[in-house]
Structure 1
Amino acid sequence: MKSYPGKSQFIVRSSEIDYHGKATIPALVSYMQEAAWENTRSIGISMYDLLERGLTWVLQRMRVEIFRYPKHGEAIVVKTWASGRERVFLHRDFRIYSSDGELLGQATSVWLVMDVVKRQMVSVPDFIMDIEVVPNQEPLPFAKGKLPQLQEVQYAQQMPVRWHDIDLNRHVTNTRYLQWVLDTLPTEILEKQLREVDIIYKAESVLGDTVISEVGTGETESILLHKLTSQQTGKELVQAKTVWEVLS
Structure 2
Amino acid sequence: MPGHQAHYTVRTYDVDANKRMTAPALLRLMNEAAMQHVIQLKLSVWDLEAHQISWVLLRLDLYIQRLPLLGEEIEIVTYPSGFERMFTYRDYRVVDRTGYPVAQATSTWILMHTATRRPARLPDWVVERAEPLFAAPDFLPRPASKLKEWRSTENQLTTTVGWHDLDFNWHLNNSHYLRLLLDALPQERLATGFPQRISLHYKAEANLGDLLVAESGSGSANSFQHRLLRGEEVLAMAETAWRDTLAAVLASPER
TM-score, scaled to structure 2: 0.91
Report the CA distance between 1:144 and its aligned residue: 2.9
Select which of 30, 44, 47 maps to 2:45: 47
| Mapping for residues 50-89 of structure 1, pairs under 5 Å | 50-89=48-87
The amino acid across from 2:12 in the alignment is S
Deviation, structure 1 residue 13: 0.3
CA–CA distance in structure 1, aligned partners of residues 200 and 63 of structure 2: 12
Instruction: Kindly indicate whether the alpha-carbon contact (under 8 Å) linking 1:4 and 1:133 is maintained by their aligned counterparts in 2.
Output: no
CA contact (8 A) 1:5 1:136 kept: no
Counterpart of 1:209 in structure 2 is 210
Q: Give the conservation status (yes or no) of the 8 Å contact 1:82–1:133.
A: no
**Paired residues of 1:83 and 1:133 also in contact (CA < 8 A):** no
1:168 aligns with 2:163: no
Give CA deviations for 1:147-190 in whole Å, capped at 9, x if unaligned.
01221110012111111111100000010010000111111111
What residue is the counterpart of 1:181 in the other structure? Answer: 181
- SS for the counterpart of 1:245 is strand
1:88-107 to 2 correspondences below 5 Å: 88-107=86-105
Corresponding residue SS for 2:51: coil
Between the aligned partners of 1:101 and 1:47, the Cα distance in structure 2 is: 31
Judge conservation of contact 1:149–1:225 (CA < 8 Å) in 2.
Answer: no
Number of residue-to-residue matches in the alignment: 243
> What are the ranges of 5 or more consecutive residues in structure 1 without an aligned counterpart?
none
- The answer to whether the 8 Å contact 1:55/1:114 transfers is yes
Matched letter for residue 36 of structure 2: E
Greater helix content: 2
- Residue deviations 1:58-89, cap 9 Å, x none? 00011101101111111111000111111111
Q: Is the 8 A contact 1:156 1:212 kept in 2?
A: yes
For residues 84 and 43 of structure 1, what CA distance do their matches in structure 2 show? 15
Percent sequence identity over aligned pairs: 33
| CA distance in 1 between partners of 2:124 and 2:2 (Å) | 18
CA distance in 2, matches of 1:193, 1:161: 25
TM-score, normalised via structure 1 length: 0.94
Q: What CA RMSD, in Å, does the superposition of the two structures yield over aligned residues?
A: 1.6
Instruction: Tell me the distance in 2 between the aligned counterparts of 1:181 and 1:68.
Output: 20
2 CA distance for matches of 1:181 and 1:126? 36
Q: Distance in 1 between matches of 2:34 and 2:203?
A: 21
Task: Show structure 1 runs of 4+ deviating over 4 A.
Answer: none
Q: Specify whether residues 137 and 30 from structure 1 end up closer, same or farther in structure 2 by C-alpha distance, changes over 3 A only.
A: farther
**1:161 touches 1:208 (CA, 8 Å); kept in 2?**
yes
Mapping for residues 82-231 of structure 1, pairs under 5 Å: 82-131=80-129, 132-134=131-133, 135-191=135-191, 192-218=193-219, 220-231=220-231
Task: Return the alpha-carbon distance in structure 2 between the equivalents of residues 41 and 245 of structure 1.
Answer: 36
Distance across 2 between alignment mates of 1:189 and 1:12? 23
> In 2 relative to 1, CA 195–30 (structure 1 residues): closer, same or farther, beyond 3 Å?
same
Shift of 1:137: 4.6
Report if aligned partners of 2:144, 2:199 keep a CA contact under 8 Å in 1: no
8 Å contact kept, 1:150–1:215: no
Q: Hey, what's the Cα distance between the residues in 2 that align with 1:193 and 1:91?
A: 26
Q: Name the residue aligned to 2:13.
A: 15
> Is 1:245 matched up with 2:243?
yes
Deviation at 1:217, TM superposition (A): 1.2
The C-alpha deviation readout for 1:103-161, integer Å capped at 9, x for no partner, is 11000000000110111101111111112232445111100321012211100121111
- Secondary structure of 1:228 counterpart: strand
Following the alignment from structure 2 to structure 1, what is the Cα–Cα distance between the partners of residues 32 and 132? 19
